[in-house]
Every structure is written in C-alpha cells, then in structure tokens.
Amino acid sequence: MMSNIEQVIQGIGPLQEEAIARAEGHLNQLTKPPGSLGKLEEIARQVAGITGETMPVFEKKAVVVMAGDHGVCEEGVSAFPAEVTPQMVMNFLAGGAAVNVLARQAGADVVCVDVGVNADLEHPQLVSKKVRKGTRNMVREAAMTREEAERAIMAGVEVVEDLVRKGYTLFATGDMGIGNTTASSSLLCALTGLEAGLAVGRGTGINDETWLHKQAVVQRALEVHDPLGEDVLDVLAKIGGLEIAGLVGVILGAAKHGCPVVIDGFISSAAALVATRLAPLSAAYLIASHLSQEQGHRRLLEAIGLEAMLHMDMRLGEGTGAVLCFNLIDAAGKIMREMATFESAGVSRS
C-alpha cells in the first residue's frame, strides 16, 4: 500500500507548459524590450506554469512557521538557549516578531505551527501538531524515528491542505528552532557530500571556538549514523529536525495543490533539498527568496538548482526573507495585469 507521503508525492505534476507559453506571449506584448524585467518575468512565467493563470491574484498568502526543538543543543552549538524557541513562538502569536511585521507589510498571514517544541504551549492561534518535545541528540542516537519524521511531514501537508481549503494560494516557509542550523548543516553534508567545514555556519552568531566545535559535532553525527544511504527519509529522521520535516510537508503539500511556495533561508532550503530529493517535480514549484548569510546556503541552493532573488545579508529565519519576496511576486502579477501593450499604448517596435 502507498504511504500517505507517497500519495502526496504522486499527486505532484509537472508545470503547465501551455500557460508558461501564454505568459511569455503576453510579456512580449508589453511596452518594454523583451526580457528587460529580468527575474520579474521569470516569476511571471513560473507562477503561470504553477497556477495555470497568466494574471494570478494571490488574495490570501500565508507564511507557515514551523517550530521545533533540537536535542543536539545539549552539545553547546548555539549562541542562544533552547528556551528561546517557545518564547519566540509566543512572540509570533503576539504579532511582535520580525516575520509578523514583514507579513503585515506584504498583506500575508503568519501561521505558527508547534510540530516539536519542548514546552507545553497553548494559544488560540497556535496550530498544535506536536509529534514530540524536541528531537533526540543526534550525536548519541537518531534524532527521530522514521515514523516521527513521517508524522512531522504529514503535519506540514495537513496545515497546507487546511489553508488551501480556506482560500490560501501562495505560501512561504518559515522556521523557528534553536539548534536547527546544526541539523540543516548535517543534512547538507549527508545529501551533497559537502564537508562540515564548508557546510557549518555561525547560526545565531557563535564565536570561532564554538564554530569549530559545531563542525566537530556535525562530523560526529555523520560518523555515528554512517552509512547514511540513499534513503532520504532515513537521513532526515536520523540527523534532521521536526520543523524541517514539517517544512518538507509544507513544500510537498503546496506543490500537490498547484501553489507556489517561497523558500526562506538556510533551514527552509535544507527542507527544500529533502523535499526535492523525495519528489523531484516539486522543485518547479519553489521560488528561492534570499541568500542567507549562513555559510552553506549558497551550496544548498545550488544543490536544489535555485537562485535567490535578494541578497540582503539576512540570517534570521522565521520566513522573513520569503515574506519579503511576496512583494516581488505580487509585483510580477501586477505587471502582467496592468502594463500597457505596444498596441494599446501606440508604442512602436522594429
């Protein structure tokens, strides 16, 4: 029997080539030299291929912030204590975090999901999908069982399906989890063969000494779980995170429902790499937003085959860079709807 995840993967189709051709045709009628709006034109074509519409209006947009804790924090890999994860979740719910501000600016809603926070959280707006209270310490044992990783992925799929039912058509990925750059770096190493020295970055802002220690922790995790084979779900379970798995589900769910999904920084991109290894067709539904300052992000985007739109030197996570790009996606749609054509404006071309 097909697993639930397999069913979601089977439901992802290729982009609609005919809609891409229509978008291209329309772009070439608009009063500008062909191609001169650069990546805005690329977005317009991609969004047409994803949605089937050349002039889409995204009435309801959501950034799904998946929150989870990490057992590997015991090893001293972050500049901040693990309690920050639940504290920031409450901040998201109160509307005070950076992602809330940028979402308001972009006309988007923040959907905060507890998929693995190590605290008992209650709030009317919190989406509770807790699989367990944080992962296990990956240098000692598998971070998750395969079943836990699958449940976290399905939590992400369910959140997106619920939002699609409510009329949301554009998604962004966001994450919150102290320690999650360690898990993301480990995934980058395991899935691409990159060495820890190039895959591990400063996360929340660790010093040189902690950075070297964090590299050793990632190296140790890779050795403890050697061999990490071709089975991507197994790799995710052993060295990933609950919020990363949740974001894999968000990506697969959005792709299945024909919705573009804007990828945030390092952690979101680690989830995107896992999602595209599980479901190669999902890559076409992804829009990379910004290039994070986190060392390793560029290699992660290269491995997926994505190019970031913005270089803002951000490294916050939460979905901040992705939500910022909602503005550019809306701009691309407005160009398609509102620009005059050579014919309508009476502008000559050769």
CB 319 within 8 A of CB 99: yes
Nearest by Cα to 251 from 229, 270, 232: 270
Binding mask of the shown chain, residues 72 to 111, with x at each position contacting ligand NCN by CB under 6 A: ------xxx-------------------------------
Residue 148 sits in the site that holds ligand DMD (CB under 6 A): no
- C-alpha distances out from residue 189 to 75, 162, 299, 303, Å: 19, 34, 10, 11
Q: What angle do CA 40, 42, 44 make, to 5 degrees?
A: 70
* Binding residues among 179-238 for ligand NCN as defined by CB under 6 A: 179-182, 203-204
Q: Which does 240 bind (CB under 5 to 8 A by kind): ligand NCN, ligand DMD, none?
A: none
CB 317 within 8 A of CB 4: no
Q: Which does 179 bind (CB under 5 to 8 A by kind): ligand DMD, ligand NCN, none?
A: ligand NCN
Residue 101 sits in the site that holds ligand DMD (CB under 6 A): no
When the beta carbons of 51 and 184 are compared against ligand NCN, the nearer one is 184
- For ligand DMD, the binding residue among 240, 246, 258, 317 (CB under 6 A) is 317
How near is the Cβ of 293 to ligand NCN at its closest, in Å? 7
Residue 80 sits in the site that holds ligand DMD (CB under 6 A): yes
Bridge pairing between strands 127-128 and 170-176: unpaired
When the beta carbons of 85 and 282 are compared against ligand DMD, the nearer one is 85
Residues 153 and 248: their CA atoms lie apart, in Å, by 6
For residue 348, give the amino acid letter: S
What DSSP state is assigned to residue 142? -
Query: Token pair of 55, please?
Result: 């002039």
Q: Which does 82 bind (CB under 5 to 8 A by kind): ligand DMD, ligand NCN, none?
A: none
Selected range binding ligand DMD among 16-24, 258-266, 313-321, 340-348, rule: CB under 6 A: 313-321
- C-alpha distances out from residue 30 to 23, 48, 241, 327, 336, Å: 11, 16, 46, 21, 8
- For ligand DMD, the binding residue among 16, 192, 204, 293 (CB under 6 A) is 204
Residues 236 and 85: their CA atoms lie apart, in Å, by 21
How near is the Cβ of 174 to ligand DMD at its closest, in Å? 9
How near is the Cβ of 269 to ligand DMD at its closest, in Å? 15
Q: Catalytic annotation on 318?
A: yes
Active site residues: 318
